[in-house]
Amino acid sequence: MDSQAFSMTGAGFAAGDTEAGPLRIEVRTVNGRSLAVKVRTTAACAAYEAAIEEAVRERLRRGTVLVVVERQASGPGALDRRAFADAAAELRQLAAENALPPPTVADVLQRTGAAARGEAVTSRPLPTTLRGLLGQALDDLQRGRAADGAGTVQAMVEQLAAFEAQRRAAAERAPEVLAAYRARLLQRVQEFVQQHTPGPLPAVDLVREVALFGDRVDTAEELQRLDHHAAEIRNVLERGGEVGRRIEFLLQELLRETNTLGSKSPDSAIAHVVVAMKSSIDRLREQAANLE
């Protein structure tokens, strides 16, 4: 395959020290018609939400994505030393500017808690280590999605082979059905002419009319288009990449031609084959719905 087809369902994890402290990042994805990203972070990382979403959109194309960024605490009430130091420096500067006593530890802790409860007012780019940790989580996600996608593609190839075998069965039966229909139609027309017309109908006119009505059950074009669409689905799966939307469209065309095949053919054997073909298409649609 030229490129890997990815499932839209998966999960990726990464943990480590960052500029915002020790963090654990979890990225989960499920099926979606387009790409929707939701980010949940700690207060210390709230300013990075937009940058996190942008980084996710650079890697993923379809699916509903949830990114959870949470602090890794070494124990209950672990102190964010960076936030504490920033708050202490801010309070010391304010105290000096206003000729006030230096802040106490309690003052700094109170300021740190207030800042943690507040919301970021500006968006900031991802710092290097945090971006790397997010990349690790996305890499882990993509490894799982690639493995799941490969399994889905294999299952679709097998189901497509079953559909193609059903189409061949219908194609083998179709000429016999058409010939039998035309023979019955010719016989009935001849009987009608003998009973209701004073003179014999010219043979060329009779054959032309029978041929026109016979075309109504001729399924050669539908069978040809079914073969073309099935071959294109196989090609798309082999190319890989973003295959989901293209395959969904081709399956719609496959179903439309299959329905036409069933409606045009008066043969019960082909009718049973059409039911099996539609069942195969349903299974293919379920599988394709999980591909990016």
Q: What are the boundaries of each domain within the chain? A: 10-148, 149-288
pLDDT given for residue 227 in this prediction: 95
pLDDT given for residue 114 in this prediction: 59
Asked if pLDDT for residue 73 goes beyond 70, the answer is: no
pLDDT given for residue 121 in this prediction: 43
* Mean model confidence pLDDT for the chain: 85
Amino acid code (one letter) for 58: E
Measuring CA to CA, how many Å separate 62 from each of 34, 54, 112, 174, 245? 5, 14, 39, 41, 10
User: In this structure, are residues 69 and 39 in contact, taking their beta carbons and an 8 Å threshold?
Assistant: yes
pLDDT given for residue 214 in this prediction: 56
Mean per-residue pLDDT for 8-37?
Answer: 93
Mean per-residue pLDDT for 172-201?
Answer: 69
Which residue would you say has higher pLDDT here, 120 or 248? 248
pTM exceeds 0.75: no
Going by C-alpha positions, the residue among 36, 225, 49 that lies closest to residue 130 is 49
Q: What tens digit of pLDDT does each residue of 238-272 get?
A: 998 889 999 999 999 999 999 999 988 888 889 99
